[in-house]
Structure 1
Amino acid sequence: MEQRKGIAFGLQERLASGKEYYEIRLESIGGLGANLCGKMLGELGVRYLDLNSSSFSSYGSEKTGTPVKGFIRYCKKDKEIRVHSPVIEPDLLVIFHQALLKDKSVWKGCTPETAVIIALEPGQEQPEIMGEQFGTCYGLEAQRIAMETHSRINVVMLGAALKVMGIEKLAVGEQICKDTLGKKYPDALKGNLEGMKRGYEEVRELQITVNLQQTTGRGSTETSEWGYATAPIGGINPRIGSTVIADLSPSRQGYIPLFIKERCINCGLCHSTCPDMVFQFAKGEYKGREMMVNQGLDYYHCKGCLRCVDVCPVEALVTGVEAEHANKEYFMPNQELLRMPEYYEEAGPDGYITSESYLTEKRMEGGEV
C-alpha cells in the first residue's frame, strides 16, 4: 500500500513536455452547471491562455437530472484540434457530485497521470473511491461554498480546476466569468466571482491510499455502447424502467423541506403540489375528527424543489440546510409500496426545469443564479 503525493503536471507543463493535447472530462448531474463550466473552460483557452481549444458536452434529451459529461481539449496555438470524439484518457477529471463516485464508469480511462477533483459533501474527508487508476486527488466542499457565496457549484469547480491546471492568475478566470455571466446575470456576478475565488483557494489535496498491485494490468479504456455483439439476446433490455428505487438526493441543491408536525393543519396542499408524491398521509385524528393526517416525507424521492415550502399556508414546512440534518425527522419511506426496495440508486431528476424558471429567479438568496 502506498499513498500518492505530489502535484500533477499543469496545463502548460503537459503541453511543453510534448503532449499533443491537454484533455479534461467533467462528470456531473444535469442542473449543476457542468455544461456551462465546460464552455467557459473552452473559451478561456482561446481568449486568455493563447491556446487552441474545443469544448462540447454529452447528455440526453432531458439534460436536467441526468448524467452529463463535458469534454475540453487544449493544444498549442500553432496546432489544430482535429479530434472531436469524447475524452477517453483525461489529464484532469472533475467530478461534480460525490454520488457519482459509486459509478465505476466515471473512472474509466483514468491513468496514474490523471488529476482528479471531487466535490465533497460537508464533513466527508475520505470519500469512497471506486477508481483503480488515477494520480493526485483533490477535493473541496463545493456545495457549502456555493451556498455561502450565493453562487453555483459550476463556478466553484471552475476555480478549483484553474488551480489544479496550474493557472497562477485567477484574474483570467474572473474575466471569463464576467464575459459569460456579467450580461445575463449582473446581480449574481459578485457571488459567482466570490465562489470561484473560494474554489481556487480552498481546493486541497486528498491523501488517498491506493493498492498499486490492483492498478496494474487492468484495462482502463472506455467500453462501447450496446451493439450487435454486445446487446442482450433478442434485443430486450432486461432492466426494468422504474423509478421506485431512485434516490433523488444527488439532485438536491443543499436544501431540504423540514416538517414541523405541530403546525400542520393537514390541508394536503403539500401533497397536491409535490411532483414526486413524497408526503405520506394515513387515516388518523386531528382536532377530534377522523381524517387523513400527514405522517412525514419520503426523502428518498425528494429532489429538493421546495415547492411544498412555498405553498404551505401555516409554515409547517420550512427550508433547511441538508448538511445540518443528517438524521432527518419524520423521514418515512413510501408506505404504498407492496415491498420496500432492497437498495436505492442515487440518481434521478432535478427540481429545476430550466435555469430561467421562476423558482430559480425567486430564490436568488438560496444559492441559485
Structure 2
Amino acid sequence: MVMLYLLEKEFKQFFRDPGLPKMAIAFPVLMMLVFPFAVSMEIRNIDLVVVDNNRTMASSKLIETCTASGYFDLVGVSDDPDWAMQQMDRNKADAILTIESDFDRSLERGEPLPVGIKVNTINGTKGSIGAGYLTSCVQRFYAEHAPGRQGSTTGAQLDVSPKYYFNTYLDYKLFMVPALIVIAITMLTGFFPALNIVSEKERGTIEQINVTPVNRGVFILCKLIPYWLVAFFVLTACLLIAWWVFDYSCAGSIGLMYFFTAGNILVTAGMGLLISNYSDNAQQAMFVTWFFMMVFMLVSGIFTPIASMPGWAQAITYLNPMRYYADAMRGIYIKGSTLADVWTDAAGLLAIGAAMVSWAILSYKKTT
C-alpha cells in the first residue's frame, strides 16, 4: 500500500514538472528524424580539383567518370598544380586528381595510369573515404577503357562479388537507428533520475520521506519504476518513427528489445539515483551525469568498432553498460538475434544493473 502511494507521488512529481514530459516526447522524435540524416558515414559532395596535364579525350572521360559517380563536386580543371594546392589551402578543395601528360599513351598500351591523388585529411574520415572513392573511379575507368580489358578472358582472372548480409544496401541510417534508440533511452533515463532526489533535497521535501518508516529499497524501487515506463514509451516511439518514416522494421523479437531496455534502466536509472545521492545540487548532478554519459558513448562501439580500439580501451569497455545494450539492440534489430545469441550482453547488463541499484540503495542515507 505504501508503495502505491509512493508511485503516485513519483508520477505526480514527474508530470507536474513543465519540462520533463515535453522532453520525453521531443527528444526521441528529434533524434530519430534529424540524426539519421546528419550523422552519416556516407560521404558526399566532396569538392574535387583536377590538374589535367593531358587535355585529351581520355582525360576528359576520366573526369566525367569521377563526377558522374555522385560523390564529387567539380570545383575546377587546370594545368597549374600550384593553383590546385591554393584551393585546398583555402578549404575550397577536398581532393586533387592529377593527370600526367602521357596519360592517354599509358592507357592505350595498357600500362599503369600516371595519375596522382591528393586529399585534405584535416577530417581524416572524409579524406580517407574520399581517396577510396576516387581510387575506385580510376580503377573502374581503367577496366572499361584499357585495350583488351573489355570482356577479355585471357590470363588468370579474379572475379570478386561481395554479398552483404543483414544490411544489403549498406544503408547507414539502418545501422544508426538502433544506436540512436540506445542513446535516446540512456540519456533520458540517466539524467531524469539524477535530478530526482537532488531536486527533492533542494526543495526540502526529502525530509518528509526521511521521517517515515519507508524502507530504503522500496523508496529507490519506486524512483525506478516511472523511468521504466518512460523508457518503454521512448522505445515504442522510436520503433514507430523508424517504421513510418524510414520503412525499417525490427528483424528480431520486439519483446527482447523491451527486455534489454528494462535491463538498461537498472543501470542508467540506478546510476542516476546513485549520483543524486552524492550530489548537493542539480548542477553538480548534471555535470557528473554528463561526464559518465560521454565516456559511456565514446567507448560503447556505437560510433567506432570496439575491435579497432587499443587493447586497454577494449578492456575498459567490459565495464561499460552501453557496450552490452548497443550490441544487443543492433543484433536484435538488424540481424534478428535471439536471446541465445546475445545472452552474454544480457548477463553483463543485468550484473552491472544489479550492482548500480544495490549501491544506490545502500548509499541513500535515510535519517529518522
Structures share fold, TM-score greater than 0.5: no
TM-score range, shorter chain: under 0.3
Structure having the larger proportion of residues in helix:
2
Structure having the larger proportion of residues in strand:
1
Q: TM-score, normalization: structure 1?
A: 0.21
Q: TM-score, normalization: structure 2?
A: 0.21
State the structure with more CA Rg. 2
